[in-house]
A = this chain, B = another copy of it.
C-alpha cells in the first residue's frame, strides 16, 4: 500500500487551512496511486472498473472534488471569464449581467463579476485582476474601454467582447442603435409630429450617444425640428433633468425619444406629475431596452426591446469563436431591437 512519508504531519505544516481533500488523500484511502485517482475523474482515461469504484468510494468518503484550479494551471486554461460592468445593478445592465452569468455557467465557464467605476484606472485595475487570474476572456458591458485595455487584452491573447458599444478593434455585440433610432424618428414624423426631442445624458455610454446622434440626424433629414435634453447619468433623475430642459423652452415638443427606459420613466413622471401634461395625449414617448418597468401600468411605455438572453448568448458565442481561432478579424454581432407598442406611443 506504500505508506511513505506522505501526510503524517510533516507536510501539512505550511498553511493551516487545507480543508479540501486532495487527490493524494483519496489515493491513499483507496490504496492506489494518485494517477489512478486522476484517471478516474478524467473522462476517457483508462481505469479498471473495480479501481474506479474503489476510488469513487474513497472520494465520496472524503468529500473529494477535483481541484479545477490546479487542473486549470496545468491545462493552461482557467475557465474563468470576467464580466466587467459599471453599476451592474441598474436597468438593462442588470439583466445582461444575469443572463451572461447563466450563459457562461451553462458553457462550463465561471463568471467573475467585476463591479467597477468607469475611469481608466479602475478599468485597468479590473483587467489586472482578470489577467492575474488568467481569465479566459473578458466581457465588458457598456463601458468604454480605453485603448490600452483592448491592447493589453490582445497582447495577452485574451478574447475581449464588448457589449453595447461599437468597438472596431474587438469583437462586439450591440443593438442596432442607429436603425432603431432612425425608426423612432420616422415613426414620430409619420404620425405628423414636427417638433421632436431626444432625452439622453452627459456621461453617456456609446450606445446612448449613438441613439442620440442617429435620432438627431434622422429627424433633421426629415425636416423636423429637434431639441436635446441631457441629464447627468443615464438614469431616472437624468430623465427628470432632461424633461425640465425640454419643456421649459418656448414650444414644447410633440414627442420625445428617450435613450433608455429609465430616462423615459423620469421624463414621463416629470411631464405628468410636475407639468401636468398627459401622455400620450399631449406628448408621445418612446424608450429603449424594455426593462420590466416599461410594462407597468404607471408607464405602459412603447420601447425597443433588447433581449438580454439573446445578447448574452451572442457574446458567449463570440468568446468561443475567438478561443477557437484567435487570429480571426474582429466580429460584430448586431441584434435588431423590436419596437414594442404600448400606450406612450402608437402609430
Question: B69 and A73: CB pair below 8 A?
Answer: yes
Question: A98 and B115: CB pair below 8 A?
Answer: yes
Nearest B-chain residue to A72, judged by Cβ: B69
The answer, yes or no, to whether A165 is at the interface (CB within 8 Å) is no
Question: A89 and B98: CB pair below 8 A?
Answer: yes
Residues A156 and B113 in contact in the complex (CB < 8 Å), given A105-B129, A274-B297: no
Q: In the assembled complex, which residues on chain B have CB atoms less than 8 Å from the CB atom of A112?
A: 110-113
A98 to B94, CA, bound (A): 9
Question: B89 and A97: CB pair below 8 A?
Answer: yes
Taking CB atoms and an 8 Å cut-off, the chain A residues in 112-156 that contact chain B are 112-116, 126, 128-129, 131-134, 152, 155-156
Q: Which of B17, B110, B273 contacts A76 (CB 8 A)?
A: B17
The answer, yes or no, to whether A20 is at the interface (CB within 8 Å) is yes
A97 to B97, CA, bound (A): 11
A157 to B65, CA, bound (A): 13
Question: A88 and B76: CB pair below 8 A?
Answer: no
Taking CB atoms and an 8 Å cut-off, the chain A residues in 303-318 that contact chain B are 308
A297 to B98, CA, bound (A): 28
The answer, yes or no, to whether A75 is at the interface (CB within 8 Å) is yes
A335 to B308, CA, bound (A): 33
Q: In the assembled complex, which residues on chain B have CB atoms less than 8 Å from the CB atom of A77?
A: 15, 17
The answer, yes or no, to whether A298 is at the interface (CB within 8 Å) is yes
Question: B134 and A115: CB pair below 8 A?
Answer: no
Q: In the assembled complex, which residues on chain B have CB atoms less than 8 Å from the CB atom of A68?
A: 132-134
A227 to B293, CA, bound (A): 27
Question: A73 and B73: CB pair below 8 A?
Answer: yes
**Interface bracket on A:** 35 or more
The answer, yes or no, to whether A78 is at the interface (CB within 8 Å) is yes
Q: In the assembled complex, which residues on chain B have CB atoms less than 8 Å from the CB atom of A277?
A: none
Question: B128 and A236: CB pair below 8 A?
Answer: no
Question: B97 and A132: CB pair below 8 A?
Answer: no
Question: A156 and B19: CB pair below 8 A?
Answer: yes
Q: In the assembled complex, which residues on chain B have CB atoms less than 8 Å from the CB atom of A90?
A: 94
Q: Which of B113, B236, B292 contacts A292 (CB 8 A)?
A: B236
Q: In the assembled complex, which residues on chain B have CB atoms less than 8 Å from the CB atom of A132?
A: 65-68
A157 to B15, CA, bound (A): 14
Question: Can you name 23 A-B residue pairings with CB atoms under 8 Å?
Answer: A14-B76, A17-B76, A19-B326, A63-B156, A67-B73, A68-B134, A69-B73, A69-B134, A73-B73, A87-B98, A88-B97, A88-B98, A88-B101, A89-B97, A102-B115, A105-B116, A105-B126, A110-B129, A110-B133, A111-B115, A266-B296, A269-B298, A270-B297
Give 12 new A-B contacts, CB below 8 A, not counting A17-B77, A19-B158, A273-B298: A19-B157, A20-B156, A21-B156, A65-B128, A88-B94, A98-B115, A105-B116, A105-B129, A111-B114, A236-B292, A265-B296, A293-B293
